[in-house]
Every structure is written in C-alpha cells, then in structure tokens.
Structure 1
Amino acid sequence: MPITIPLTLSSEMPTVVQVTTSSEQRECVVVTGASTGIGAASARELARRGFHVLAGVRRDCDADALRAPGIEPVILDITQPDHIAELATRVGSQAGALRALVNNAAISVNAPVEALPLEEWRRLFEVNLFGHVAVTQALLPALLRHCGRVVNISSVGGKIAMATYGPYAGTKFALEAVSDALRRELTPLGVQVVVIEPGGIRTEMADRGIATTSRLAEAMSPQQRDRYGPLVQAVTAQTAAFTTSGRSADDAARVIAKAVTAGKPRTRYTIGRDAALLTRLSRVLPDRMLDRILAAGLRPYYPKTTTA
C-alpha cells in the first residue's frame, strides 16, 4: 500500500515521495486450514483486500500453490503444539496488528454413532475443536493487544445434527458453544467473536468426506451394515447432491472477509440458502416434526430396493 509523504526542501514546493508499505507493516490475518477450499479462497480474498495473510497449510506443495502477493504460507498442523508455538512467534514478529484469526481447519466424517470407532471420534475432536482452542489461546495475547477478532468456521451441522452427522455435528455444536462463551468473555475486552455457518459448499473437503464415509462403511461389521448400510448410501448421495448445487468457496470467502472487516459484525453468518433454512427450522419446529422433515428429504436418496 503506497503512502504519500510530502518532503519540504528549502523554500521550494514540497516534493512527493512514494513509500511502499511492507508486508510486515500491514494488518495481519491468520487463516488455518488454507490448503484448499474455503481456507485457500479466504486467504486470497483477504490478501486482495490488503491484509498480510499467514495461511496455515499442511504440506510444502500446498504452500507453493498458495504463495502469492499478500499470502505467506506457514506449515501448520493445529494438533501439533510446536507448530502452534512457531505460529505465535511469527505473529509476534509481525509489525502490523493482528486483525483476525480465522479458525477454518476441519475434517469431515459421516458415520452412525454406533459404527464410528472411538479413536476416530477423538481424532475428529482434536482437529475440529481442540486444535482451534489451542490456536486461539496462543494468539489471544496479540488479538487483545490490537482489539482483533476471532472468526470460527462452524457449519449448519453446528445447529442441526442429521442422521450419521453425529460425530461431525458434535464437534461443531461444541465449537458453537465455545464461541458463545468466548464472545461473552472477550467482548468487554475489545475482541469480537464471529461464527460462520456454511451449508453445502463445493470444495475438496466434501469429496474427502464422502471418501472417508465410504471407507468407514466398509469397516462396519455385517450387523452394522445391515442396520445402517442403506442409510449411509442415502446420506452419501444426498451430500453429493447438496455439494454439487452448493455455493462456491469464493462465495464463502466473501462472507468470511465481511466478518473480518465489518465495523459491527453480526455474531453469526450463514452461507447458502440451505444453511439459512435449516438453522431457522431448528429454532422453531418441534423435534419430532423436524425429524419427519429430514427423513422425508433423505428418502429419495435411498437405494431403489430399500425403503427408508
């Protein structure tokens, strides 16, 4: 960002000198889970808006693909304390203020509650919840110094848990609760907390989630396959359909950038008509009626020889 500085030389007219602001002096935003999808799109959108983005990625090849003016990739696994410590050190060395932390890293798993091994439950919570808490704790001193904000990427699954979404929705319900508590703790201290609730988004994460669901379904016992096989197939087909017709990652990135830059951000933003509709229904409908609506919506996706 060029800064115009007038320099007066003796009695002559002022001479204008153009000075370029370095990345170290620009406001900084940290985005976790920026290798692909919403995270990568958000890093690009925030860089376009003039921020210096520290973009957390898992692999060197992802860093090479994302690196661009305004984007500094950093190797970051949010379940690794040493990675988080290195990130906090890098933020501390940044001359520009830390404007926001965007907690976006996540993995997607769909499986019946009975059928998902406990180690998979723990891995899911480590990434989708505990990792975010760890990064937030590490960067809060910088956010407090600069009156920054925390933007937590939740999901429509943080408001409504459909069949086989128990593990994933469990992490997002928990993230919503942590976000509410954090907002009430930090607002008096000048730090705002915002939650983003996307619905169907066309990203690589959705494809990876479907692949993981298929892998876990194959590992179910014969009895579990009898109980849940058609349900898992229906949910997988419905998820693929919703993803194909969903919003783009760039659309989601613009909402996230708004949450970062708005003078008075809302506490929550939904992304997509499906997210807006489902979150409203979850607030106003009795549980049993909502169960019937969700079951009816899933029924067309069951295998043809199976009745829901």
Structure 2
Amino acid sequence: MTASTELGELVVVTGASTGIGAATARELAGRGFHVLAGVRRERDADAIGGPGVEPLILDITHSGHVHALATRVADDHRALRALVNNAGIGVNVPVETFAIEKWRELFDVNLFGHVAVIQALLPALICSKGRVVNISSVGGRVAMATYGPYAGTKFALEAVSDSLRRELAPSGVGVVVIEPGAVRTEMPGRAIATANELASAMTPEQGQRYGALVHAVTAQTASHTEWGLPAEAAAKVIAKAVTARRPRARYTVGREGALIRLLPFVPDWALDRLLAMALRPYYPAHAQRSHDDGSRFRRSGTGDAVPGARQ
C-alpha cells in the first residue's frame, strides 16, 4: 500500500467517541484518509468532527444504523481501505454474579455488533482488497479473575478474526487483531464504576466470596491505567496495521506484550500463581491474611481445596 493510494480513501472507525477510537480517527485523518467515525450521540459527533473526520451516528447493535453505514460507503466513489472495529464495553465482574441477560448484552456489543458491521462492509472491502482491523485486548489472550465476561467476548473476537483471516486471504482482504493492554482512556474508569455498581448488588454470600477480589481488581486497574500508554500511542499502532504492506496478524500495545509472549511457555498453574501474586498487593488490608492463608491451602495439594478457591 503506497502513500498515493492511501490519499482520500475511506476508513471506518467504530466506537470513535473517545479514547482509542477518537485518537485513531484523528491519526488516520492526519495521514490523508477520509474517516467515517462512528459515534452514538450528537454531542460526540460535534466533538470528533474535523478535517478528514466525518462523524456518523452508529450503534453497531442497531441493524438500521449498520445498513445506513453500508449505504454511505457504497454510495461513495472512494475505495474503502479499512474497517477498524473499536466499539466495546468493559466490565469486571465474577462469572457467578453477572446476570445472563447482561452476558447477552455484552456479547451483542463486543462481538455480534462487530460481525454485523464486517458482514455489511465486506463487499466493499473485497472490491478494494482492503483490511479489517479488530480491536481486541490483552484480555483476549489471558482471562484474569473477574474478567470472564469481557475476556469471553475478546477470546471469541480473536477466534472470529483468525477464521476470517484465513477465509479472506484468497480475496486479498487482510485481517489484523490489535491487543491493547493498559491505555489511558475513559474505558477503565467506566469499567471500575460498573464493577462497583455490580458489587453493591451482590448477595451477602457473593459479597463474602468476591467483595475483596473485586476491590483488588479495580484497584489494580486504576493503578495500571495511571502508567498506561496514551490513546495516541495505540492509534499509531492501529494506523500501522491499516497501512503496512504486509501487516502482522496481531499487534500488542503496552507492557503486557511481555506476558503474551510468555504464554506458550508457562503452564496454567504457574500463570494462575503469577496473576494471583500480581493482584495480592491490591487486596484490602483486612483481606490480606485470609487471602494468604487460602493461597497456602491451595498449594498444599489437598484435593478439595481448589473448588473453594477464590481465584
């Protein structure tokens, strides 16, 4: 892909209201693309609009919005260079306490909505030999405690991306996955607020089982976000995935890339222990002793210790 073919071509970016999506829209516009930036509210459209960025009201779970996007692309004389699937919801909650209808809503946004947009825009992408860039997460490779619902959607998106990449290779359409780790955006703050709200609705028994764990995870998230990369750094990696002549199948953004590279060499029991050790400093003081005692109990090798383990 050369600079001359890039100039003026279309790129669709979903979830462009804030954070990585907004930064990506601006980065690609700065490189000469015309970006169709999907946002959910008029005030977000006013904020993101600018040279090379055309905001569109787009809820990827709304079939009418997806159809209107496909029509907008089909009616444009310019080629569709790439679709960047960035829309998503973050949540940290134990599997037991997340209502099944909430599971369905989460998968609707984080997976099925992306599939709907891909299906709608594939004719244009095949015509232009364009590219699909799916924004996954480090959570698409490692499912930490309370990340079950969110990581479930991202693991699924990774699987869909692998299959799609192999299906579309003969058509000349590339499929790339981006796996951000800690990035300073609004999403972690929203995820923490949601986690606290869901924790307050737990039953007393669930609160006893998971209250300290949720506290530790949200504290760890807040800490990691402070030293995370700016959204603009992630946007540059995404832009590379859009423009590289031969992009990699996956790009990891942030320090967590080292953990991802270790995965093939670390057995599950060792990874469990590493993640538990990393989380330990964030537990409330009153929960430290019971957490440590539980860890020693799990290491004792007794057969009935694991089913009652917190993590």
Pair in the same fold by TM > 0.5: yes
Structure 1 stretches of 4+ moved >2 Å: none
Quote the residue 1:287 is aligned against: 268
Match for 2:72 among 67, 86, 90?
Answer: 90
Cα distance between partner residues in 1 of 2:190 and 2:99: 18
Match for 1:55 among 27, 32, 37?
Answer: 37
* Amino acid across the alignment from 1:297: A
Quote the residue 1:69 is aligned against: 51
Quote the residue 1:298 is aligned against: 279
Is 1:130 the counterpart of 2:112? The answer is: yes
Cα distance between partner residues in 2 of 1:129 and 1:183: 16
**Deviation digits for residues 61-106 of structure 1 (CA, Å, limit 9, x no counterpart):** 0000010010000000000000000000000111110000000000
**Deviation digits for residues 28-54 of structure 1 (CA, Å, limit 9, x no counterpart):** 000000000000000000000000000
Q: How many residues align?
A: 283
Give the CA RMSD over aligned residues.
0.7
Is 1:247 the counterpart of 2:246? The answer is: no
Q: Which segments of 5 or more consecutive residues in structure 2 lack a partner in the other structure?
A: 1-6, 292-311
Q: State the secondary structure of the residue aligned to 1:122.
A: helix
Q: State the secondary structure of the residue aligned to 1:111.
A: coil
Deviation (angstroms), 1:282: 2.0
Q: Which segments of 5 or more consecutive residues in structure 1 lack a partner in the other structure?
A: 1-24
Asked if the contact 1:281–1:290 (Cα under 8 Å) also holds between the matched residues in 2, the reply is no
Is 1:156 the counterpart of 2:138? The answer is: yes
Cα distance between partner residues in 1 of 2:172 and 2:261: 30
Quote the residue 2:62 is aligned against: 80
Deviation (angstroms), 1:281: 2.4
Cα distance between partner residues in 2 of 1:126 and 1:219: 23
Deviation (angstroms), 1:224: 0.2
TM-score in terms of structure 2 length = 0.90
Quote the residue 1:139 is aligned against: 121
Q: State the secondary structure of the residue aligned to 1:77.
A: coil
Quote the residue 1:103 is aligned against: 85
TM-score in terms of structure 1 length = 0.91
**Deviation digits for residues 179-210 of structure 1 (CA, Å, limit 9, x no counterpart):** 00000000111000000000000001111111
Larger Cα Rg: Structure 1 or Structure 2?
1
Cα distance between partner residues in 1 of 2:37 and 2:133: 14
Asked if the contact 1:115–1:220 (Cα under 8 Å) also holds between the matched residues in 2, the reply is yes
Q: State the secondary structure of the residue aligned to 2:126.
A: helix
* Amino acid across the alignment from 2:218: T
Is 1:171 the counterpart of 2:153? The answer is: yes
